Structure 1
């Protein structure tokens, strides 16, 4: 489909969609969860729901810390979301240092509070809380640093998210706050036409105001009630971005869109195979939450780089989340994790950015479990676990664990196999250079494996946070 063509609101028309090269080349983005849930900083970003559910720890924690829910409700966190130290330029600089190529903040979470200037939602960050257009300011800062800007919207879940507050004496029952707390209906009840129409209008407002090049939908839109609205929204989004001279990416979960009409996202999980179509994995630096919490459990930079390499080798992009504090600052522990990922990418990025999958995604005993919410069950990587990417005739071999004996054995490159066409002429270790040019490494190609010996300096000098070597292979 050319820029002169227009998408119609049908799956047949939307089947002409092609994932733009900017996304296929980017490989790595930053997700941001910041909202009123950042104030209690307890458990996770579902605090607004669970503080009204009597069977959840958040219920008693809230009463003990903030008071009864009919006296201090979720709405009362909004003035405490001061954002007095929110600096979008500082955020963008950090994300750029991390090596991110696109940035996707949450424009509205399930809680119904918009972090952008809205004419439809009176509960928004420009008139209360930070009293700033967080999305608009961040969009400008991100684009100034040559990164692509996107947004996520989670408003579909707002139909039922605060339902617990209707079961006892809480401020959710107060009609004065109905526009924040939403219908608060039972989760099993299909949303009304009025709610669906309003949800679509809010989504279009967000698209038209900020022209996000990536539009991330959360999971609830896979419900049948949303199906008639999805091709209309997708057509509007694709056409709107084309009119602005931009190339759109729309991501979805749980089969909400037909294959090929948008980009599938896998939340906190992996693909077990090399996928023929570009896709996205999203996860967080924190193991147990997307927003900032006061007792975090962070993943290591090495673990995150391993996730990135596994995703990229399987034709995907990784969207990695951070959660700023209520004052708008990013916790130093989270910032340092991003810097260390960025330091690895600064040396090895040519094996990531702009690459395409090879004949096979990799090799080794660790096998990924397919699907979302599986990251806690994934097997740990060992020295035999490798991933492959290609770019401009070069083959890259990415180690998912530090070699124990200074050697990398690559079974997929054995002489008796036909995966690599041609003769290997030169192998280099990224970041290992001589005075004038990269130093070639010693290697031996046997019938069943290619063995590469790393330089002795690597064994003694790889104490960085991410000691994962990358080989560049050039044909003779």
Structure 2
């Protein structure tokens, strides 16, 4: 279908619902608003329920993520571009000491300091492939509203300011060279309210009442490095503060665009939409991760629905079938049929009927030097145990390796990645292409599993896994029992395999061959070899009439 241009003036007073229908038919507006690619998906939840998770994602199980943006430049942790405007906070104090007061040196100026001069995407993605990643995801923008790709809809992007490079283009090329599906994560829908701290000023001290730079405009740039750029295009703060904006925790209650948040303007929403269509059309991602409740700007706008329909239809046009994946958080029953449910820093406590994903990190989301200095990274053991637990419940694990401001990863992060690679070299058969068994596992950790909170956040709240904790996966008629520790007495008992199952052979991945075993009503007792084939977790390959 050819797209037709509609005269903007003729649309005055037309409802957003009608406009949405026009978009879904591939029409677009004369003022630059782009339309939805033609295809079976339209911009409604009912239409999106046609979605089926592609096999590549179901089989992949493990992805690695570069959650990297200018907020990594200070190396002071996550949400820096918000925290630096919170008077008295750690990031505010650090910012004042390192850069100066936020009325004089704002986050826009931090962006200008970011050069990414040691960034080698080919080397990093190659390393991640060796570690067993079956897809790679790169951050396309964060709540700081800075795009890491060229766009005529956002002047504040990495090809014009900071690194002066197309970072998403570099990541996409490296992923393609390594044969990995490529994903992008998008977080910028929330800049509207997230940046409200930049409208503040100090309440005490010598600069009391002097506004931070969040309300600056292009007119303030005369003679400055940013002359010709409008800070409002970045900060988007030409609006009244949301209810209880001075409460730093209120942003979490307003994440779903309710509870007193100042509604985003139509211009803000449409600009976000155009940026997303540019991102999809230019890089053709296999996966889009949205850091939102359901979809971006929902329910304040239908922008997220239109983006989803465009991605799905574009994917069908390119591949002849739907290959694209969307990750969204806090989904209701209908929404889980429209995309892949993502749980942040947490896991489900049951086998989910539909594929899902855990996203987590070995440190903070944005690089924090203190975690390196104090040896606070997750160990490879924790990563492997999380992977086994998630996969046993029909999920995937997306793991972020924090990237330093200069574009490199540190030696301790690299060691974790290499240890995961060593484990996967022995045991990946029990991960890739598997499906859940009738039960996801057994062992004492199941009794202390913590419930999910909001978008997740239950990881690490139960008892640590021990040798009696086992997670199961299947492939065809083969059952894999992943032991999350090595039994001290040289034997393990798989209680879920009582005498109703007729086991014929048991072997240990990476081990010497078939193992001796006994089966009774109490379970399958397996004699393990003296030599451990790897570290952290150990996989029994079990065959026979398994029930």
Query: TM-score normalized by structure 1?
Result: 0.92
Partner SS state of residue 100, structure 1? coil
Asked whether the 8 Å contact 2:443–2:469 carries over to 1, the reply is yes
Quote the residue 2:330 is aligned against: 254
Q: Which residue of 1 aligns with 2:232?
A: 178
Partner-residue secondary structure (3-state), 2:267: helix
The separation in 2 between residues aligned to 1:117 and 1:83, in whole angstroms, is: 16
- Conserved 8 A contact 1:427-1:472: yes
- Separation (CA, whole Å) in 1 of partners of 2:317 and 2:160: 30
**Using a 3 Å threshold, how does the CA distance of structure 1 residues 275 and 384 change in structure 2: closer, same or farther?**
same
Structure 2 counterparts to residues 67-82 of structure 1, below 5 A = 67-82=100-115
Distance in 1 between the 2:525 and 2:484 partners?
A: 16
- Per the TM alignment, residue 230 of structure 1 is displaced from its structure 2 partner at its CA by 3.0
- The answer on 1:267 being equivalent to 2:344 is yes
Instruction: Single out whichever of 272-281 and 75-84 deviates more from structure 2.
Output: 75-84
Query: Structure 1's 282 and 353: CA in aligned 2 closer, same or farther, altered over 3 A?
Result: same
1:403 maps to which of 478, 484, 487: 487
Structure 1 residue 232: Cα displacement: 2.0
Query: In the alignment, does 2:44 pair up with 1:10?
Result: yes
Deviations 1:238-257 (A, max 9, x none): 00111111600001001277
Secondary structure in 2 matching 1:203 = helix
Which stretch of the first structure deviates more once superposed, 332-341 or 367-376? Answer: 367-376
Contact 1:270/1:369 (<8 A) preserved: no
Question: Is the contact made by 2:269 and 2:297 (CA closer than 8 Å) also made in structure 1?
Answer: no
- 1:224 Cα deviation after fit: 4.7
* Deviation of the 1:92 alpha carbon: 1.1
Q: What residue is the counterpart of 2:530 in the other structure?
A: 456
Residue 399 of structure 2 is aligned to residue 345 of structure 1: no
Q: 1:351·1:389 contact (CA, 8 Å) conserved in 2?
A: yes
Q: Determine the structure 2 residue equivalent to 1:103.
A: 136
Distance 1:222 1:106 in 2: 15
Structure 2 partner of 1:210:
283
Q: Write out aligned runs for 1:77-156 (5 A).
A: 77-156=110-189
CA contact (8 A) 2:215 2:237 kept: no
Q: Distance in 2 between matches of 1:227 and 1:102?
A: 30
- Say whether residues 1:244 and 2:318 are aligned partners: yes
Asked whether the 8 Å contact 1:31–1:322 carries over to 2, the reply is: yes
Match of 1:314 in 2: 393
Q: Deviations over 1:424-457 (max 9, x none)?
A: 1110000113xxxxx1001110111111111112
Distance 2:102 2:403 in 1: 25
**1:436 alignment counterpart:** none
The correspondence of residues 427-438 of structure 1 with structure 2, limited to 5 A, is 427-433=506-512
Is 1:283 the equivalent of 2:389? no
Q: Say which is worse superposed, 87-96 or 250-259, in terms of deviation.
A: 250-259
| Distance in 2 of aligned mates of 1:311 and 1:8 | 32
Q: Distance in 2 between matches of 1:60 and 1:84?
A: 27
Q: Which runs of 5 or more structure 1 residues have no equivalent in the other structure?
A: 434-438
Hey, what does 2:299 align to over in structure 1?
225
Q: Distance in 2 between matches of 1:61 and 1:330?
A: 22
Matched length = 455
CA contact (8 A) 2:297 2:304 kept: no
Equivalent residues of 1:26, 1:317 under 8 A apart: yes
Deviations 1:66-113 (A, max 9, x none): 111122111112232211111111011111111000011110000011
Output the CA distance in 1 between the equivalents of 2:67 and 2:180.
18
Distance 1:223 1:328, change over 3 A: closer
Residue 473 (structure 1) aligned with residue 542 (structure 2): yes
Deviations 1:280-309 (A, max 9, x none): 0000011xx112111112011001100000
The answer for the alignment partner of 1:39 in structure 2 is: 73
Structure 2 equivalent of residue 23 of structure 1? 57
Superposed CA offset, 1:339-378 (max 9, x none): 1111101100000000011111011111232320111313
Instruction: Measure the CA separation in 2 of the matches of 1:413 and 1:394.
Output: 13
Most deviating of 125-134 and 145-154: 125-134
Answer whether contact 1:117 1:125 (CA < 8 A) is retained: yes
For the 8 Å contact 1:191–1:225, the answer to whether it is kept is no
Root-mean-square deviation (Å): 1.7
Larger Rg: 2
SS in 1 for 2:481: strand
- Alpha-carbon distance between aligned partners in 2 of 1:378 and 1:190, rounded to the nearest angstrom: 39
1:138 Cα offset (Å): 0.9
SS in 1 for 2:444: coil
User: 1:222 deviation in Å?
Assistant: 6.9
For 2:43 and 2:536, the matched residues in 1 are separated by: 49
Query: Could you give the per-residue CA deviations for residues 162-212 of structure 1, whole angstroms, max 9, x where no partner exists?
Result: 111212121212113111112374352222222222222212111111111
Within 5 Å, which residues of 2 pair with 1:437-448? 439-448=513-522
1:425 corresponds to: 504
Deviates more, 1:439-448 or 1:78-87: 78-87
C-alpha contact (below 8 Å) 2:484/2:536 kept by paired residues: no
